[in-house]
Amino acid sequence: MSLLKKTYVWSVCLEPMLYLLWMDYIYASNLGVSRTLQLIVLFCLFIKFIISGFKIKVFNIFDPMYRYYFYFMFFSVFSALFGILYGAYILPSIPLSETMYMSIYRPIVEYIINIYYIFYFVILARFILTDSQAIDYFFKVFSFIFYFSLIIGLLDLVIMYFSDTGYPGIARQIRGSVGVGFRFHGFAGEPRDAFVYLWLGIGVLYLKDIWRNEHKLTITKLFFIFIAMGLTQSASGVFGVFFSSGLIFLYLFHRLTFKNKINLIFGVILLLIFTYIVVMISGRLENYLNGFLTLYDDLNTGNSIGGNIKEAMTNIYPLWHRWVEVMNLKILPLIVGTGLGTSSVINNFYMMEVNIITNPNANMVRMVYDVGVIGMLLLIKGFIYPIEKFNINKDMGLKLLAIMLFIIGAYFAHRSVAPFLFLGIMIIAIKDKFPVSLNKD
């Protein structure tokens, strides 16, 4: 197995390990162990490209595995053109020359990031992880990192609970000493990042069982993973559960037998009850809940926003602005969006900032505002359509779809690379395990 393949595997598996960031954001991108390895991989591929006489393997953007994602990207360009005409990229009464970073540079970066994610974590995986040995190595590395982060993260909380010395726990990042309190996060950075990573872990470990014909993702392991999810005390995680539940009923429920529909309803109810219990025993989440109860009246009357909810206003102002537009019968922006990056612009308007990047953390808010309902539906289709094209056992396909929907729900609550990483390894693992695994269009 080549060193390049191993480097690629580590660069992908370490991407969610935000603890390993060692440099501040530079030009809207962070630099850590994973990104450094990714730069090395891309540099090596560039050198191979030159040595080969500029011969390059061409991929079809309309391949069923990523067709709808590129439809989403094309539509996002249309949204941006509409946004330019609509004036969504500029602040009223402020010259464009004073908001260049926010109005031009950052939106371009947003498009580059979205293309990079699908290229590096999905398309490139199909060109690099081309044999069973490489796929097996991926699962081995991912499992080691995931369980290491899970075990150390839980042990860290045990030590914090019983410590008499004020032990602060694992910091958010290796270059800092800022803790997160008594909340699970392992080495995934923020607890909200850890919540998404835990769902990704379930998905990849299930794929590993499929690929190796094993059943090592046991109820006991799932129990500790869900306990860790609860211990993140993440408000984003709570919304992720609601988003996932909605996606499950929209995209999975009608595909099930009557018996499985009953089981699904029961399972979702248990998950919602578990989420409710977590909210009630967490003072932090309860404060968020109390803030949401008065939020509409506060926004409607112009009252100042206080408490924990103030920290989430970058996720709320874009939705509020769209709501006000709809009340004024301006419906088109909600349907088609105004282009990637415009949610940051509207946050600048409400927060009275100039040329500051204030993107929402919740990706659903970004999608609803930036590309509208149509763009958001295309994005969801981009992640689930490949599963629909797999010519595999129906039960297996439904489980993969359910896992992907939960990952998408978590991704909508907090932006992450998780659905791209899962999609990339799912495609190559299924195609290697079942060589004739694609339905014809």
Which DSSP string do the residues of 318-380 spell out, in sequence order?
A: HHHHHHHHHHTT--HHHHH-S-TTHHHHHHHHHTT-SS-----S-HHHHHHHHTHHHHHHHHH
> Positive or negative, the Cα torsion across 368, 369, 374, 380?
negative
Alpha helices in 175-331 (DSSP H): 191-212, 219-231, 235-251, 258-281, 283-301, 313-327
State the average pLDDT over residues 113-127: 94
Rg (CA), the chain: 22
Render pLDDT for 327-355 as a digit per residue (tens, 0 to 9). 999 999 999 999 999 999 998 888 887 77
The answer on pLDDT for 199 being more than 90 is: yes
**What's the mean per-residue pLDDT of the chain?**
89
Q: Which helix (H) or strand (E) holds 25?
A: strand 21-26
Contact by Cβ (8 Å): 190, 18: yes
User: Whole-prediction pTM value?
Assistant: 0.93
Q: Bridge-partner residues for 26, per DSSP?
A: 29
DSSP string, 192-219: HHHHHHHHHHHHHHHHHHHHHT---S-H
State the average pLDDT over residues 33-40: 92
Closest CA to 206 of 225, 189, 193: 225
In this structure, what token pair is assigned to residue 203?
A: 């998905």
Contact by Cβ (8 Å): 37, 157: no
Render pLDDT for 74-117 as a digit per residue (tens, 0 to 9). 999 999 999 999 999 998 878 888 888 888 888 999 999 999 99
Q: Which helix (H) or strand (E) holds 140?
A: helix 132-162
- Percent of the residues in the chain that have a pLDDT greater than 70, as a whole number: 95
Confidence at residue 113, expressed as pLDDT on a 0 to 100 scale? 93
CA distance 237 to 195: 6
15-to-20, 123, 148, 287, 407 alpha-carbon distances in Å: 9, 16, 15, 32, 16
In this structure, what token pair is assigned to residue 339?
A: 């282009």
Angle at 432 between CA 39 and CA 225, to 5 degrees: 70
Confidence at residue 364, expressed as pLDDT on a 0 to 100 scale? 92
Confidence at residue 305, expressed as pLDDT on a 0 to 100 scale? 74
Contact by Cβ (8 Å): 225, 201: yes
Contact by Cβ (8 Å): 204, 426: no
Bigger pLDDT: 274 vs 201: 201
Render pLDDT for 213-228 as a digit per residue (tens, 0 to 9). 999 999 999 999 999 9
Q: Under DSSP, is residue 156 helix (H, G, I), strand (E, B) or coil?
A: helix
Look at the chain and count its residues: 441
State the average pLDDT over residues 134-154: 96
